[in-house]
């Protein structure tokens, strides 16, 4: 009993202690400074009315996050954009984290807010074939969302990334209410189809050097950032990824890149390529294309 009493005395918190319970929003001690200030103000104005404890400030409301910019959104009305923002779900992915796997059911349409998302398929030899990499502002996943078929590729984050999901059921319902959305998606699908057909044509008609050079020039045009030594492709480009992108071996891609570096057309940096003389590379590709045409 004595030990218990000692414990009780030790556990009793001094009212002046900093460990004292924090006052609740309705505790009079919390309101005292505000009441005194109001009383002083009221006396100065000739008021003699009692004041209640001031209410806690309302929670701050945040605006819906903007949608990743893309031309398919350009002609949409503010009402439709507001609906899309209201239905959107934001997700954060760690580097290498799987967003969805090949064969998964379509969850909806995705937009890249930050980071990058790569689509790839496994090959029979166990290699990964990179199909495409999406940058901030890009939208993807529309094919399976429309036809309801399983996802044809794996989707993984490249670096810590944030994506925005428009759930399939709600989005399709919005399409029925606002048919103008179809016009935007027609542009999106046509642009992607044109790019895919260009890649198929290149794969069937051009040698590796021409395909690699054309891809580097395209990446420099889209992602290039001017630096002192040339135009840096501001995109991680491991040679394995370039090889997978072109359906080639890493050794053949590395050999061609080093040949261009020796000529001063490009500079190779860790996981990056700097375009130093794009015009010289374009002229070489034009000569190769002319020889193939003959």
- Summarize pLDDT for 1-44 with one digit per residue, the tens: 444 444 444 444 444 444 444 444 444 444 444 444 444 444 44
Q: What are phi and psi of 243, to 5 degrees?
A: -65, -45
Residues sharing a CB contact under 8 Å with residue 165, sequence separation 6 or more, in sequence order: 88, 89, 90, 91, 107, 108, 109, 110
> Pick from 154, 187, 203: which residue ends a domain?
203
Q: What does the pLDDT average to over 196-216?
A: 91
Whether 51 maps to a domain, the answer reads: no
Give the Cα separation of 6 and 76 in Å (integer).
Answer: 73
pLDDT band at 64 (very low <50, low <70, confident <90, very high): low
**Domain of 79?**
71-203
Q: Within a domain: residue 281?
A: yes
Instruction: Determine if the pTM surpasses 0.75.
Output: no
Q: Are both 142 and 191 inside the same structural domain?
A: yes
pLDDT at 83: 93
At residue 65, the pLDDT reads 62
Alpha helices in 178-229 (DSSP H): 180-205, 208-223
Query: What's the CATH number where 130 sits?
Result: 2.60.120.10
Over range 75-84, report the average pLDDT: 89
**Structural domain count, the chain:** 2
Is 52 within a domain?
A: no
Residue 247: CA atoms inside 13 Å, Cβ hemisphere, count?
11
Do 171 and 228 share a structural domain? no
Same domain? For 90 and 152 the reply is yes
Q: Do 214 and 162 share a domain, yes or no?
A: no
pLDDT > 60? residue 158 = yes
Q: Per-residue pLDDT for 45 more than 70?
A: no
Q: Do 188 and 224 reside in the same domain of the chain?
A: no
The predicted pLDDT at position 165 comes to: 96
Residues 218 and 181 in one domain: no
Domain boundary among the residues 185, 203, 221 is at 203
Q: Is the pLDDT of residue 167 over 90?
A: yes
Out of 203, 230, 247, a domain closes at: 203
The domain that holds 220 is classified in CATH as 1.10.10.10
Write the pLDDT tens digit of every residue in 111-151: 999 999 999 988 777 777 788 889 899 999 999 999 999 99
pLDDT at 164: 95
């Amino acid at each position: 009993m004595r030990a218990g009493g000692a414990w009780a005395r030790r556990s009793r918190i001094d009212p002046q202690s900093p460990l004292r319970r924090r006052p609740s929003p309705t505790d009079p001690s919390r309101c005292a400074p505000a009441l005194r200030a109001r009383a002083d103000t009221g006396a100065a104005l000739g008021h003699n009315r009692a004041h209640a404890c001031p209410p806690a400030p309302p929670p701050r409301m945040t605006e819906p996050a903007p949608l990743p910019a893309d031309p398919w959104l350009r002609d949409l009305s503010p009402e439709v954009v507001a609906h899309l923002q209201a239905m959107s779900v934001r997700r954060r992915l760690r580097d290498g984290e799987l967003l969805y796997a090949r064969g998964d059911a379509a969850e909806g349409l995705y937009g890249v807010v930050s980071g990058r998302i790569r689509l790839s398929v496994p090959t029979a030899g166990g290699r990964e074939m990179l199909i495409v990499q999406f940058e901030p502002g890009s939208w993807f996943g529309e094919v399976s969302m429309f036809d309801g078929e399983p996802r044809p590729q794996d989707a993984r984050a490249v670096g810590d990334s944030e994506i925005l999901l428009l759930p399939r059921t709600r989005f399709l319902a919005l399409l029925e209410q606002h048919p103008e959305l179809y016009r935007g998606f027609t542009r999106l699908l046509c642009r992607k189809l044109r790019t895919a057909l260009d890649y198929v044509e290149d794969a069937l008609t051009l040698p590796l050097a021409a395909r690699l050079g054309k891809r580097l020039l395209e990446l420099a045009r889209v992602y290039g950032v001017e630096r002192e030594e040339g135009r840096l492709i501001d995109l991680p480009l491991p040679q394995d990824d370039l090889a997978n992108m072109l359906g080639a071996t890493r050794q053949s891609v590395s050999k061609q890149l080093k040949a261009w570096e020796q000529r001063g057309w490009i500079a190779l940096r860790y996981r990056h390529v700097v375009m130093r003389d794009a015009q010289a590379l374009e002229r070489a590709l034009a000569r190769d294309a002319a020889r193939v045409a003959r």
